[in-house]
Amino acid sequence: MLRIYDTRARQVEEIAPARAMRMYSCGPTVYRHAHVGNLRSQLLSDLIRRVLERQRVRMVVCQNITDVGHLADDTDSGESGESGEDKVLMGARAEGRSARDLARYYEDSFKRDTAALNLRPPEHMPRASESIELMIELIAKLIERGHAYALPDGAVYFDAPSFPTYGEVSGNRLDALRPDTIDPRKRFHADWALWKPSDGELSWDAPWGRGFPGWHIECSAMSLHHLGDRIDLHTAGIDLRFPHHEDERAQSDAAVGHEVVRHWVHGEHLLFDGRKMAKSTGNVVLLSDVTEAGLDPLAVRLAFLEHRYRQQLNLTWDTLRAADRTVRRWRARVAEWSESPSAPMAAEHVRRVESAFDDDLDTPAALRVLRELERDESVAPGAKFESFLHLDQVLGLDLAIEIGRPRETVLPPGAAELLSERERAREAGDWAESDRLRDSLATMGVRVSDSPFGQVWE
């Protein structure tokens, strides 16, 4: 079975076998386009799903859409940003449209991007704005059980000290948290808002007064409603570990009286050209930027797979171009192999790849075995064909896409190797060898030219 690093346990743990499993994945705040760093976090849950489904586990996945409640000053300092402005409202004002229209526009953009990366859609994708009653019911339950309190102005706060195991996900203990400012309305400085008074565009009536929910209560309410109070896996990027997941765990467990999430799994940050990817730094790359550069969007997926999910990844345009060349080469090879007699899969190579998948999603090791299989002349082409297509159920690279296309789009036997050699020659600055290989390819009927994004052939 799959073994994966559990953030709360601080170790790699085996996912207990089950016929069906429930997974919650924190979704986007829909006030702008998702950048490729955001999308890397979404790939994590897709990989887990594909690996477990390969093991005949039926997955039920829920991913939220945050279209209210995520404030501009939500930070990782322990404060919950009670005084900030809603990100969706800020975006709507900046773009001169309603909050609903803005949220739907960027929600659709997110869904197009995830589809382009072959991320399987979740069974449940609730919007926060359409789940307000669930949140009000959960807040009322927390008040009733002594874990939350309402203030005269209509705000409701979670009573942090009432949950003694706070900090087990992130390691941030309540007695060590130091707030930037002291709010005299709170019983304890690290209490966070479950409901915030407001009468603006994004506000609803509640027993405590008109307002809107806190960001953290949203995921608790939607996950409990759609997946129940026993959730096998909860995934997201490492930036949500604290305070979001710490607060979410406290809310959910306090409401139901037991540990709700069995395994917390987090993916690491993505850098681009050595710098953090963030709008504040001006270092943002969208999936549309990749496709406008002439690269296949699944080159992004392969570039992500080249690194372990819990390792920081420094993405570059050179990395993306190399991944694009590999995706195109593998598709051409699969199409070429498809014309050979069928043969059983290369069992040992497949076993090693699947073992890498199971070993804490060691996708770099899996890709090394695939490259080894591609070059192994002792394996019949038909066996390579069957093996690559079988493993693509997890890789999700659309490796069969060239099959059935006009023959002139399929490389002749041996041409892929010459193209790879020419790439290496160009990278080494060996222009004479590069020209020689281009001439050799021309005699095979393959015309090669060079572009700003690498060599292209027809």
CA triple 404-410-413, angle to 5 deg: 125
**CB-count burial class (<10 Å; 0-12, 13-18, 19+) for 251:** buried
Predicted pLDDT at 83:
58
Asked, for residue 316, whether it belongs to a domain, the answer is: yes
Q: How confident is residue 336, by pLDDT bands cut at 50, 70 and 90? A: very high
Residues 433 and 384 in one domain: no
Query: Of the candidates 227, 179, 202, which has an alpha carbon nearest to the alpha carbon of residue 77?
Result: 179
Question: Domain for residue 186, yes or no?
Answer: yes
Q: Which of 374, 378, 288, 376 has its CA nearest to residue 331?
A: 374
Is residue 233 exposed (0-12), middle (13-18) or buried (19+ Cβ within 10 Å)? buried
For residue 219, say whether it is annotated as part of any ligand binding site. Answer: yes
Which residues lie closer than 8 Å to 279 by C-beta, 6 or more apart?
32, 35
Indicate the pLDDT class of residue 81, thresholds 50, 70 and 90: very low
Q: Where are the alpha helices (DSSP H) in 55-181?
A: 87-95, 99-116, 132-144
Contacts of 255 by beta carbon, 8 Å cutoff, 6+ apart: 138, 141, 142, 145, 147, 220, 224
Does one domain contain both 87 and 185?
yes
Model confidence band, residue 79 (pLDDT cutoffs 50, 70, 90): very low
In terms of domains, do 107 and 218 share one? Answer: yes
Is 248 assigned a ligand-binding role in the annotation?
A: yes
Residue 8 lies in a domain: no
* Single residue among 206, 232, 267 that ends a domain in this structure: 267
pLDDT band at 76 (very low <50, low <70, confident <90, very high): very low
Decide if 273 contacts 264 (C-beta within 8 A). Answer: no
347 and 291 in a common domain:
yes
Instruction: Tell me, yes or no, whether 236 lies in a domain.
Output: yes
For residues 262 and 284, membership in a common domain is answered with: no
User: How many other CB atoms are found less than 10 A from the CB of residue 416?
Assistant: 19
> DSSP readout, 286-330?
BHHHHHHTT--THHHHHHHHTS-TTS-EEE-HHHHHHHHHHHHHH
Across 168-174, average pLDDT: 94
pLDDT 10s digits, 232-247: 999 999 999 999 999 9
Angle between helix 87-95 and 99-116 (nearest 10): 100
405, 416: one domain:
no
The answer to whether the annotation marks 62 as part of a ligand binding site is: no
Residue ranges making up the domain that contains 422: 411-458
CB-neighbour burial class of residue 198 (10 A; exposed 0-12, middle 13-18, buried 19+): middle
pTM above 0.75, yes or no: yes
pLDDT of residue 178: 79
* Amino acid residing at 129: S
Are 280 and 423 found together in one domain? Answer: no
CA 259 from chain centre, in angstroms, equals 24
Same domain for 370 and 260: no
Hey, CA dihedral for 62, 67, 68, 72, is it positive or negative? Answer: positive
What is the C-alpha separation between 451 and 458, in angstroms, rounded?
A: 13
CATH code of 247's domain: 3.40.50.620
Tell me which of 138-147, 217-226, 354-363, 427-436 is least confident: 427-436
Dig out the tokens for 187 from the structure. 């019983």
Q: What is the side-by-side order of every strand in the sheet holding 270-272?
A: 275-276, 270-272, 313-315
Tell me if 261 is assigned to some domain.
yes
Residue 9 included in any domain: no
Q: 31-40, 134-143, 426-435: which has the minimum mean pLDDT?
A: 426-435
Query: Which residue, of 267, 287, 320, is where some domain finishes?
Result: 267
- pLDDT tops 60 at residue 409: no
**430: amino acid identity, one letter:** D
- Whole-angstrom CA distances from 29 to 88, 104, 118 are 8, 11, 20
259 is a domain residue: yes
Give a yes or no: residue 1 inside a domain: no
- 385 shares its domain with 297: yes
pLDDT value of position 452: 63
Q: Are residues 104 and 228 in the same domain?
A: yes
Number of domains in the chain: 3
The fraction of the chain above a pLDDT of 70, given in percent, is 96
Mean pLDDT of the chain: 92
Indicate left, alpha or beta for 4 from its phi (over 0: left) and psi (-120 to 50: alpha): beta
Nearest-angstrom CA–CA distance, 193 and 211: 12
Residue 116 near residue 133 (C-beta atoms within 8 A)? no
Residues 133, 55, single domain; the answer is yes
Q: Which of 267, 293, 317 lies at the terminal end of a domain, its last residue?
A: 267
Query: Phi-psi region for residue 271, left (φ > 0), alpha (ψ -120 to 50) or beta?
Result: beta
Contact 7, 265 (CB under 8 A): yes
Quickly tell me which residue has 């990782």 as its tokens: 76
Distance of CA 22 to the CA centre of its chain: 17
Through-space distance between the first and last CA atoms of the chain, rounded to whole angstroms: 43
26 annotated binding-site participant: yes
Contact partners, residue 166, CB within 8 Å, separation at least 6: 160, 173, 174, 246, 250
Residues 342 and 197 occupy one common structural domain: no
What are the phi and psi torsion angles at 108 (to 5°)? -60, -40
